[in-house]
Amino acid sequence: MSDIWIGPGRLSGSVTPPPSKSEAHRALIAASLCHSRHLVSGLPEPLSEDLQATKACLDALTDARPLLDCGESGTTLRLLLPVAGALSSVGSAPVTFTGHGRLPQRPLGEYRDILTAAGLTLTSAPDAFLPLTLTGRLRPGLYQVPGNISSQYVSGLLFALPLLSGPSDIRLTTPLESAPYVDMTIGTLARFGIRIDQTPDGFHVLAPQIYRPTAITIDKDYSQAAFWLTAAYGGCDLNVTGLPDQTAQGDKAIVALLRLLTESTEGSTVTIDVAQIPDLVPILAVAAALMPLVTHFVHAGRLRHKESDRLVTTQQALWEIGADIEVTEDGLLIRGAGKSRRTGGLTGGTVDSWSDHRIAMAVAIAALFTRDGVLLKHAEAVRKSYPTFFHEFSRLGGDIHELDLGEKSENKLVW
């Protein structure tokens, strides 16, 4: 699968999203630190490429192998860097982290500074962050961490610091963004017997602590459910099942935000702060393009450092299919159907996913509501987080065709 054509239409039926990728990363790491990964149940089948990367890196750490290939997973890299630095084997032999796609260029400078100050040596080429070779051993102490760069810096340290010989403090030097992901980390750690104390400006971590085996089942993923929920919001007869009512997943906000867009007065302007929910922006942009509103997403600057520059790629993807959307200083401005200075609706066209899984899935949902359909290039990007996405899309009635020399094939794509 590479380039596919997706026709307009409506999906119908019931769909259950896969288990939460964010929770699965965290559960696998915590379980590995008490040598009980077999107690983690409810993992998606097949594993996404990101989770395969975390599992492979944990196996390498367990076996004291010197190379950890993170694939294209920023979560794997950022969560495991300090964990590797806390494990005793790193003190005697170097460990090298590598990656692919855009990962070697994704920012890591602040993390390097934090970990270097705590006793580690991180060596990489001058023109890329990866491959990165880590030597030394993490020391307990005070960690000053910017909260507006990546919450994964905080989560990675929260996994590692309980393994050290004495207590440590994480002091946030700026307000914490994507805070629900840190809450998720703390919740996972608590289930494995690890205590984290919140302080006025960060977190206090007692050490040494012992990770204790526990059985854990991964909840279904609101981040992936967001695509199906948006399809339903647009008029598809879909029943999205299996989602937990009580969850640490910040992306549960998709439910309230879709309701907000639906209930807003035609012609009004809606401002949505996405600092805590950046992963929802591509699919929320699709939802906004379908409504006769002006929608302004703000505090979205960190999207520039994802698998693609998601401010630019979301704008370009939706612009190519007829949306009126522009990049602002720290977000996006969308004039939805009926308010657009362009067509008043989505026409369709050719869109590149830029090898970004969330762009690919958002465009697939948008294609349902176009006049002419969408030719989506590099659709295989969905394997990073949701390998069965297009299987489900087709099962629910989606019109998907493989391409032959730029034309729709005669046969519908078989999954």
Active site residues: 279
Separation between Cα atoms, residue 296 and residue 284, nearest integer Å: 11
Separation between Cα atoms, residue 192 and residue 205, nearest integer Å: 15
Supply the DSSP string of 87-119, one letter for each residue.
Answer: SHHHHHS-EEEE--TTGGGS--HHHHHHHHHTT
Q: What is the H or E stretch that residue 212 is in? A: none
What 8-state DSSP symbol labels residue 174?
Answer: S
Strand partners, 408: 403
Inter-residue contact 30 to 188 (CB < 8 Å) = yes
Residue with tokens 């239409």: 9
CB atoms within 10 A of CB 41: 11
Strand partners, 144: 171
Q: Which of 218, 78, 210, 207 is nearest to 155 (CA)?
A: 78
Inter-residue contact 337 to 314 (CB < 8 Å) = no
